[in-house]
């Protein structure tokens, strides 16, 4: 995937983490005491004043430019697509990020004010000890400002590290989102649906990887196929961060939902638990078409017992359902045809646009 595609998808891909406070201070001191050409100034006091001024300004510029550049590298949070804004809130916390970026912005501005005030004080100093004292005080004050926001600097560093790793997804591209309990074969199914597509790649998604692939459907064109972290059958407020990320994807991206079930129960979840999760997804995301995938059809008798119960539930809910074996590639073409028909039906998610 090209860097351009990354930038178009994940708005946080290019954010720049600030250095650690100690490193930032070291850089500022190094810049301040790097020799600079002052030109020909015959008066020794005037020359000393120019030297101390250059040191204060160099120190200020490192702090100002570094903090401002980091803040400006983050996109305005109100302008990013709701999917990414809500995902950032789940992964890190939007209010927390706003506070930390605001603190860095404050530190940068106050650093400039301190430097300006101390430069003015230089012009009131008439001897070498006083000039040196003003410069030392200016640097000490600016160091204090950086240290005062050290916790917020760490916050922005953490946010940058986590948000840059979010998957690169185009919310405007037609998207199939896979949902269901853990270990039902969603990732295997994504690979089957996206077979032969070089865009398939793994992205770190907190403690679990997701798969994002692309497929081309006749009469529809290019679509995104997205695996989500496994959901458990429990209330929303009890769900962990990984599950909440799946909820965000279903809410903002899903044009078609493939609910991947495991009638064999080898995933570790009983049929009634899986059906309960299906009903909850239907109640929360019913605006998107839902296709139920009865996976692991290759497991014979284990599969058949649960498949009958799942089939009855699908009929009650009026959901199309298909038997497949993602492991063996059986039933995949039939599944893609059902997905294609749903897209051609023209129904798009309400959250598809910012």
Provide the CB-side half-sphere exposure for 29 (13 A, CA): 11
> Can you give the pLDDT at residue 38?
79
Model confidence, pTM: 0.80
Pairwise CA distance, residues 139 & 145, whole Å: 10
State pLDDT tens for residues 171-219: 888 999 898 888 898 888 988 887 534 334 444 433 355 567 888 888 8
Region for residue 93 given its phi and psi (left: phi exceeds 0; alpha: psi -120 to 50; beta: otherwise)? left
Q: Which tokens sit at 15?
A: 């954010």
State pLDDT tens for residues 303-354: 998 999 999 999 999 999 999 999 999 999 999 999 999 988 765 554 444 4
State pLDDT tens for residues 5-50: 334 589 999 999 999 999 999 999 999 999 888 778 888 999 999 9
Q: What is the CA radius of gyration of the chain?
A: 28
**Are the C-beta atoms of 134 and 118 separated by less than 8 Å?**
yes
Q: Please, which pLDDT band fits residue 59 given cuts at 50, 70 and 90?
A: very high
Going along the chain from its start, the domains and CATH numbers come out as 9-163 (1.20.120.1190), 175-352 (3.40.50.300)
Q: What is the rounded average pLDDT of the residues 139-162?
A: 97
pLDDT higher than 60, residue 237: no
């Amino acid at each position: 995937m090209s860097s351009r595609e990354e930038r178009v998808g994940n708005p946080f891909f290019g954010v720049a983490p600030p250095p650690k406070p100690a490193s930032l201070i070291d850089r500022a001191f190094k810049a301040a005491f790097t020799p600079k050409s002052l030109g020909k100034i015959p008066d020794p006091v005037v020359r000393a004043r120019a030297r101390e001024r250059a040191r204060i300004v160099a120190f200020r510029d490192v702090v100002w430019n570094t903090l401002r550049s980091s803040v400006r590298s983050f996109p305005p949070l109100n302008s990013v697509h709701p999917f990414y804004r809500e995902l950032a809130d789940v992964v890190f916390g939007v209010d927390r990020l706003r506070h930390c970026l605001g603190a860095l912005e404050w530190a940068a501005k106050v650093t400039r004010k301190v430097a300006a005030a101390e430069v003015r004080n230089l012009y009131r100093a008439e001897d070498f000890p006083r000039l040196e004292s003003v410069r030392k005080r200016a640097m000490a004050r600016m160091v204090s400002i950086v240290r005062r926001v050290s916790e917020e600097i760490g916050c922005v560093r953490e946010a940058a590290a986590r948000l840059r790793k979010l998957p690169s997804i185009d919310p405007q591209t037609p998207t199939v989102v896979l949902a269901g309990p853990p270990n039902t074969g969603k990732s295997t199914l994504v690979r089957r649906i996206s077979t032969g597509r070089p865009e398939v790649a793994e992205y770190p998604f907190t403690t679990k990887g997701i798969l994002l692939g692309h497929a081309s459907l006749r009469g529809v064109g290019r679509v995104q196929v997205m695996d989500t972290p496994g959901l458990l059958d429990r209330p929303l407020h009890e769900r962990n961060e990984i599950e909440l990320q799946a909820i965000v994807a279903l809410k903002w991206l899903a044009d078609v939902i493939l609910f991947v079930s495991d009638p064999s129960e080898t995933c570790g979840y009983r049929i009634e638990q899986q059906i309960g999760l299906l009903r909850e997804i239907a109640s929360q995301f019913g605006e998107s078409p839902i296709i139920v995938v009865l996976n692991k059809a290759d497991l014979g008798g284990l599969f058949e017992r649960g498949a009958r119960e799942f089939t009855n539930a699908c009929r009650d809910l009026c959901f199309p359902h298909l038997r497949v074996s993602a492991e063996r590639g059986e039933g995949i073409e039939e599944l893609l045809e059902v997905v294609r028909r749903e897209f051609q039906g023209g129904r798009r998610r309400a959250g598809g646009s910012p």
